[in-house]
Structure 1
Amino acid sequence: MRKIVGLVLLALAAAAAVGATFLPFSELLIRLAPGQPQTAYVTTGWSTQFGGTKDEHGPLFAIPIVLAAAALLAGARWTKVAYAGAAALAGVTGMLFVYLLNAISFHREGNIAIDPALEAGFGNGVWVLVSAVVLAFGAVVLHPDD
């Protein structure tokens, strides 16, 4: 039973990690001129979109996340690969979290004088990614030894 729960958790962690890449990691609402409505600036794992304009050169944060998820899935067979996948996912998530925290803090501190009502924060994708890390480490704890 423990083996089955570990394998299910590995699969759930991988699915949550990949799914998170399609959700917003950060959201910024900014008014470009006084009296104008706020425009959303949203970053996902694959793209950045400002209002209706999609950036041609997306951030590609998703690539290391997908690779870590693939390692989690391969870890269903090999314990050491499961540990490596969980560690890689935690590392990527931590680095992304710190990067976004820095960017969000920069905008919140009034460094952009255009819009004093600017709103910046984490999107749902970050929290799904953090949940995937928790699931991944739960899976490696329950993973049977080879």
Structure 2
Amino acid sequence: MRKIAGTVLLGLAAAAAVAATFLPFSELLIRLAPGQPQTAYVTTGWSTRFGATEDEHGPLFAIPIVLAAVAVLAGIRWRKVAYAGAAALAGVTGMLFVYLLNAISFHQEGNVAIDPGLEAGFGNGIWVLVVAVVLAFGAVVVHPDD
């Protein structure tokens, strides 16, 4: 039973981590000029979009997340590898969270003169990634010993 539960949790963690890379990690709504409508600036694991324009140099946050998800999946066989994968996923998620927190704080506080109505915040992708980390560590706990 523990083997099945561990396998399911590791599979869900890996799937959630990869799915999170396609969801917005951060969202910024900004007016470029007074009286203009707000434009969305959205960052995912693979791309950055400003309105309808996609930045040709995407952030590629997804690469370490996908690699950590692969390690999580490899942990189905070995508990130590599952733990390493969960730790890698937690590390990547933590670093991304801090990076986005700094970027969001800068835009909320540093650019009030540009757009007093500016809105910046986390997208749902970061929260799905946090859930993936919780699932991965839950899988390590129930994973049968080697």
What secondary structure, in the 3-state scheme, does the structure 2 residue paired with 1:57 have? Answer: coil
Q: Name the TM-score, length of structure 2 as normaliser.
A: 0.98
* CA positional deviation for 1:112: 5.0
* Matched ranges for 1:1-146 at <5 A: 1-146=1-146
Residues 31-56 of structure 1: CA deviation (Å, up to 9, x unaligned): 00000000000000000000010000
Equivalent pairs counted in the alignment come to 146
Paired residue type of 2:78: W
Query: Between the two proteins, what is the percent identity of the paired residues?
Result: 88
Moved over 6 A (4+): none
Which residue identity is paired with 2:97? F
SS in 2 for 1:27: strand
Query: Which blocks of at least 5 consecutive residues in structure 1 are unaligned?
Result: none
RMSD: 0.7
Structure 2: gaps spanning 5 or more residues: none
Letter in 1 for 2:104: I
